[in-house]
Amino acid sequence: MTELRSAPHERLGVSVESIMLNVVLALLPIALFSIWLYGLSALALLITSVVVCLATERVFNRLSGQSSTLSDWSAMITGILLALVLPPSFPLWMTAVAAVVAMGLGKILFGGLGMNVFNPALVGRAFVQAAFPSAIATWVPSYAPNRFHEFIPTTLTQPLMIPPDITAWVKAVSADAFTGATPLAMWKFQHQLTAPEDLILGIATASVGETSAMLILVCGLYLALRGMLDWRIPVGMMGSAVILASAFHLYNPDFFPPPVFVLLSGGLMLGAMFMATDMATSPVTPLAVWTYAILIGVVTVLIRYFGGLSEGVMYAILFGNALAPLLDRSLPTRVFGRRKPWRVGS
Amino acid sequence: MKPGEHTLTAFENFMEGIWKQNPVFVMVLGMCPTLAVTVSAINALGMGLATTFVLVFSCLLVSVIRNWVPKEVRIATYIVIIASFVTVVDYAIQALSLGLYEALGAFIQLIVVNCIILGRAEAHASKHPPLTAVVNALGMGIGFTIGLFALGGVREIFGTGTLFGISLFGPGFQPWIVMLLPPGGFFVLGGWLLLFAWWKMRKEAKDGA
């Protein structure tokens, strides 16, 4: 029997599900390492985030009369990513709020997987950043001695209530002078640089999954080598950030940090590897992809250096997401046989 | 009245603005005050009642003089009438509650340019006798107040944990700062519109089946 079909005729044989499953696998080492660093609280954070994301998707599926879309693994990815960009001490009820907003507002209301404009995990993160600015800026030290026996006090805050003050708890568990600030905030507000090896190994204070730059790099490389993420995005994003940071550093080495610091600190690595590369929210044509990636890198550095916040990766990626459809439309690939757009005359 | 057009009863005329043509949820008119002043239930109610007052009296006056106003200058006439009543409301709120006056700020004066009022004057009051116009305007005003209250109530509950200043969750409540910021207004309005659209869709599906 002859089958008539329109293009594309050649298929890669890779389904959405298998790509998503591989992203989950690539995220697992980062998640496991974060549990090693922060113990029970990180575990509870991850479980809450994933469970609420899956449940939200299921509820919306039912409300809209669709069949379940849980099996495509994408809700799982959003759940893991969301937990990875929250601080380890984040109360679980706020995590649940972030997860509902991430899935509901960030994804389902747009029509589900592939239709969303913004990265769902970052929508959730941006919402709780605006809603609970103090809780999301509360940091705890890694390797707390009792991390596998007890929760960080703020983790189990009663729903809708203010998390308790953890200054005393932090003092009790941290051996050396723990400042309660991320490396970026320390640079920005106290002008102290964190050693690069701390950033690479994940000793520095950070969100659950931003800790080890090296681990994130390895996990991202796995996806890139399997062709499951567009390598142009991390390369363009990190490259542009490093080049811009180098220029600033050369201009005034006393004030601006070295480019290695910019590359390894905060969420740049995680954002470049797992957030900006989200297939639904990044552009398609090569030129648009490069523009998108470079733009995110530049905006990140500008927010970090000149904005009110110490970290800018989240807003930079959301900004890039918003521009992605426009970039695709204004920077299309040249149709074979068509004249180059910049050539005039016959 | 055109032949064949269904004549509304007084009750239907009144309910028009509250339900079928609700200015906030159905017509999506007057969005500036809707989003800007609804950070608390009391602000929302104050704004809604002030607008209702201006709406009712403007429509009454417009309806009374509808046969004497030349078509060419009608918009200017309506604006002068509306502006007069807004001035009255402005002074009245200032005299009655300075706190509310300061909370609502420029938005009291901006009732002048609220498109619901001019829209009602032009589309309804100028074509109907005074009593019908007033009933319709009252419905619209109450509908607008309900809309503002729906936003203000939700934003106050989440944003400060209170309703009309009464604490709902006790002293340890964690406020959702975002609800008091402009994005919160958009989120809550979007949520209500979604709810109404969903409800309407279900009703249509049920009626169709």
Put simply, whether B192 touches A (Cβ < 8 Å) is: no
Put simply, whether A315 touches B (Cβ < 8 Å) is: no
pLDDT for residue A208: 80
pTM given for the model = 0.88
pLDDT at residue B169 greater than cutoff 60: yes
B181 and A135 within 8 Å at the Cβ level: the answer is no
Put simply, whether B179 touches A (Cβ < 8 Å) is: yes
Question: Could you count the other beta carbons within 10 Å of the beta carbon of residue A114?
Answer: 13
pLDDT for residue A8: 66
A160 and B177 within 8 Å at the Cβ level: the answer is no
pLDDT at residue A332 greater than cutoff 90: no
For B30, phi then psi, to 5°, come to 65, 45
| Contact (CB, 8 A) for B135 and B159 | no
Site from A160, A162, A165 to mutate, B interface, most B CB atoms within 10 angstroms? A160
Convert the pLDDT of each residue in A275-329 to its tens digit.
999 888 999 888 999 999 999 999 999 999 888 887 889 999 999 999 999 998 8
> Chain B partners of A161 at a C-beta cutoff of 8 Å?
169, 172-174
What does the pLDDT average to over A236-256?
Answer: 92
pLDDT for residue A289: 93
What is the pLDDT confidence band of residue A114, given thresholds at 50, 70 and 90?
confident
What does the pLDDT average to over B116-124?
Answer: 90
> Chain B partners of A127 at a C-beta cutoff of 8 Å?
178
Cis peptide upstream of residue A259 (ω within 30 degrees of 0):
no
pLDDT for residue A344: 66
Q: Is B14 helix (H, G, I), strand (E, B) or coil?
A: helix
State which residue of chain B sits closest to A98, comparing Cα positions. Answer: B176
Convert the pLDDT of each residue in B91-111 to its tens digit.
999 999 898 899 888 889 999
For A88-105, b where at least 16 C-beta lie within 10 A, e where not — what string? bbbbbbbbbbbbbbbbbb
pLDDT-wise least confident of A126-130, B54-58, B167-171? B167-171
Site from B158, B162, B174 to mutate, A interface, most A CB atoms within 10 angstroms? B174
Higher per-residue pLDDT: B11 or A244:
A244
> Chain A partners of B181 at a C-beta cutoff of 8 Å?
130
pLDDT at residue A1 greater than cutoff 60: no
pLDDT for residue A200: 75
Put simply, whether B176 touches A (Cβ < 8 Å) is: yes
CA A254: distance to chain centroid? 30
What does the pLDDT average to over B167-192?
Answer: 91
Percent of chain A residues past pLDDT 90, beyond the cut: 40
Percent of chain B residues past pLDDT 90, beyond the cut: 56
What residues of chain B, 107 to 166, have a C-beta less than 8 Å from chain A? Answer: 161
pLDDT at residue B1 greater than cutoff 50: no
Convert the pLDDT of each residue in B6-64 to its tens digit.
677 888 888 888 888 888 888 888 888 888 889 999 999 999 999 999 999 999 999 99
The CA distance from B141 to B114, in Å, is 12
By residue count, chain A amounts to 346
By residue count, chain B amounts to 209
pLDDT for residue A227: 83
Convert the pLDDT of each residue in B110-119 to its tens digit.
999 888 999 9
The question of ipTM being above 0.90 is answered as no
Question: Could you count the other beta carbons within 10 Å of the beta carbon of residue B88?
Answer: 14
Which among A94, A105, A160 is the nearest to B169, CB-wise?
A: A160
What is the pLDDT confidence band of residue B175, given thresholds at 50, 70 and 90?
very high
A131 and B177 within 8 Å at the Cβ level: the answer is yes
CA-nearest of A81, A83, A68 to A113 is A68
Convert the pLDDT of each residue in A28-64 to its tens digit.
999 999 898 888 999 999 999 999 999 999 998 888 8
Minimal CA separation from B135 to chain A, in Å:
38
> Chain A partners of B174 at a C-beta cutoff of 8 Å?
94, 132, 135, 157, 160-163
pLDDT at residue B4 greater than cutoff 60: no
Residues 6+ apart with CB under 8 A from B134: B56, B59, B60, B63
Put simply, whether A90 touches B (Cβ < 8 Å) is: no
What residues of chain A, 4 to 23, have a C-beta less than 8 Å from chain B? Answer: none
Query: How many angstroms separate the most distant Cα atoms in chain B?
Result: 63
pLDDT for residue A121: 94
Give the Å distances, CA to CA, from A219 to A222, A235, A273, B182. Answer: 5, 15, 8, 39
For A145, phi then psi, to 5°, come to -60, -35
Q: Is A336 helix (H, G, I), strand (E, B) or coil?
A: coil
Which among B174, B181, B194 is the nearest to A132, CB-wise?
A: B174
What does the pLDDT average to over B178-188?
Answer: 92
Convert the pLDDT of each residue in A148-207 to its tens digit.
888 888 888 888 888 988 888 887 777 666 666 788 888 877 777 777 777 777 667 778
B172 and A131 within 8 Å at the Cβ level: the answer is no
Burial class (CB in 10 A: 0-12, 13-18, 19+), B123: exposed
Convert the pLDDT of each residue in A266-290 to its tens digit.
888 899 999 999 888 999 888 999 9
Put simply, whether A175 touches B (Cβ < 8 Å) is: no
CA-nearest of A100, A150, A145 to A120 is A100
What does the pLDDT average to over A333-343?
Answer: 71
State which residue of chain B sits closest to A65, comparing Cα positions. Answer: B202
pLDDT for residue A58: 92
pLDDT for residue B49: 93
